[in-house]
Structure 1
Amino acid sequence: MTDRAELEALDLAALLCSRVCHDIISPVGAIINGLEVLDEDNSEDMKEFAFDLIRRSARQGSAKLQFARLAFGAAGSAGAEIDLADAEKVATGYMEGEKADFTWSAPRVLMAKNLVKLVLNLVLLANAAVPRGGSISVVIEGEAATPRFTLRSVGPTARIPAAFERLVPGDIDGADVDAQSVQAYYAGALARNCRMTVSASLDGEDVVITAVPAEAGIQPDVSADS
């Protein structure tokens, strides 16, 4: 295992909080806009418009918070397990507010919480691979203790996220880690904790992200294959 620079715990916590705030500020702002519309114009047409905006934004904000709670939060005590059906529910809810269509195929089993957090963070990386929209499929196979995750991103100009190659392996020397790119760093940290090897490659014009168990007794180096 090679030595690698790591983010300070306080910096990592601050950047992850910024990432969550970035996700929810838009729906919260839309709710405020809807309320302002009601204050300014109380006609029936504007009421209908404002309440529809508030309902949609509230659902989106709630979905993003539920996702963040599972993907970034404690999600129970140390050693806790999470039902993959719950992970599917929060991932589907999150993606309803994004541009890409989303499918999830997995057995309904309990899985170690950090493995579940890893696949949810990989969903965010898969979503970043198709910024103009398209489709994302998640397939989880294998035993609950030694799963294989495969995420395929299909869309116009699909590309491996720029932060993937350096930050998933944890290489932060000289890197400008911000509230968006920190998510790749955090995914890599989860992978190393779970002894999983993560890679990204192009399959034609599609981006395929995989996570598989590392060889027994060997600490994985998380890499991106271009």
Structure 2
Amino acid sequence: MSVFKDLSSLDLAALVASRVCHDIISPVGAITNGLEVLDEEGNEDMADFAMDLIRKSARQASAKLQFARLAFGAAGSAGAEIDLGDAQEVATGYMSNEKANLEWGLPRLLMPKNQVKLILNLLLLMNQCVPRGGTISISMAGDAQAPDFLLKAEGTNARIPQVVSEILSGQEPERIDAHTVQPIYAVLLAEEAGLNIGLSKDGDAVICKANTHVSASV
């Protein structure tokens, strides 16, 4: 049992909500700015720019919300299953606004919701490992009963953020806040799903494994 089990459900919910709001506030703010430009009289030259900004930001906000609904939300009742095709759709939408490209290699089948939520949360962690962009690939061996997930992030200066490495290895960070709650949530999801997470550096790539037998993160 991880040290994060001591985190109350109320605190966890509040921190996850803060994380989601942090992701959404930027595109929503951009929509507001675009509307303010449209409201200004005599600023017709900026109207097209403002509308483009509003459209782009609205799509981004929608993609982030749809992703958060599946990655962090209830996604059905206890014991529910999620279609990996739905997970691919929201992951593709989310990553369309990021620097890294996504290569989704998972089959379309129903899987326990916590396993699917874990994959989406691991995608967020891998995205942090390639801050300058690159490619993130996701694949799976085995079957729905005994999955063996593999995520690989390749890019310039690929690295494992220290706080992510520490949290995935079971260490409690100095501060638990909206910035550190996501990897904590991933650890808790893995425990609920009966999977272990391993994270390692391999040349210009970061490798993440999630299965029932992987060793501790390094």
TM-score range, shorter chain: over 0.9
Q: Which amino acid aligns with 1:204?
A: G
Residues 2 and 96 of structure 1: CA distance in aligned 2, closer, same or farther (over 3 Å):
closer
Residues 2 and 43 of structure 1: CA distance in aligned 2, closer, same or farther (over 3 Å):
closer
Q: Which amino acid aligns with 1:98?
A: E
**Cα deviations by residue, 1:17-38 (Å, 9 ceiling, x for unpaired):** 1110111011001100110110
Q: Which residue of 1 aligns with 2:148?
A: 148
Q: Supply the distance in 2 between the matched residues of 1:66 and 1:3 (Cα, whole angstroms).
A: 30
2:27 maps to 1:34: no
Offset at residue 106 of structure 1 (A) = 0.9
**Cα deviations by residue, 1:8-57 (Å, 9 ceiling, x for unpaired):** 22211111111101110110011001101101255554221111111110
Greater displacement, 109-118 / 156-165: 156-165
Offset at residue 100 of structure 1 (A) = 0.8
Q: Is the 8 A contact 1:125 1:161 kept in 2?
A: no
Q: For residue 133 of structure 1, give the secondary structure of its aligned residue in structure 2.
A: coil
Q: Supply the distance in 2 between the matched residues of 1:51 and 1:4 (Cα, whole angstroms).
A: 44
2:217 maps to 1:224: yes
2:199 maps to 1:200: yes
Q: Supply the distance in 2 between the matched residues of 1:113 and 1:129 (Cα, whole angstroms).
A: 25
For 1:146-225, what aligned pairs fall within 5 Å after superposition? 146-172=146-172, 175-214=174-213, 223-225=216-218
Residues 52 and 41 of structure 1: CA distance in aligned 2, closer, same or farther (over 3 Å):
farther
Q: Is the 8 A contact 1:5 1:171 kept in 2?
A: no
Offset at residue 171 of structure 1 (A) = 2.8
TM-score where L is the length of structure 1: 0.90
Q: Which residue of 1 aligns with 2:53?
A: 53
Offset at residue 76 of structure 1 (A) = 0.3
When the two chains are superposed, the root-mean-square deviation of aligned CA atoms in Å is: 1.8
Residues 58 and 4 of structure 1: CA distance in aligned 2, closer, same or farther (over 3 Å):
closer
Q: What is the identity percentage for the equivalent residue pairs of Structure 1 and Structure 2? A: 57
Residues 169 and 186 of structure 1: CA distance in aligned 2, closer, same or farther (over 3 Å):
farther
Q: For residue 78 of structure 1, give the secondary structure of its aligned residue in structure 2.
A: coil
Segments ≥4 residues shifted beyond 3 Å? 1-5, 41-45
Count of residue pairs the alignment pairs up:
218
The answer to which structure has the higher helix fraction is: 2
Q: Is the 8 A contact 1:168 1:184 kept in 2?
A: yes
Q: Supply the distance in 1 between the matched residues of 2:168 and 2:194 (Cα, whole angstroms).
A: 13
Q: Is the 8 A contact 1:148 1:211 kept in 2?
A: yes
Offset at residue 203 of structure 1 (A) = 1.1
Residues 54 and 205 of structure 1: CA distance in aligned 2, closer, same or farther (over 3 Å):
same
Q: Is the 8 A contact 2:37 2:43 kept in 1?
A: no
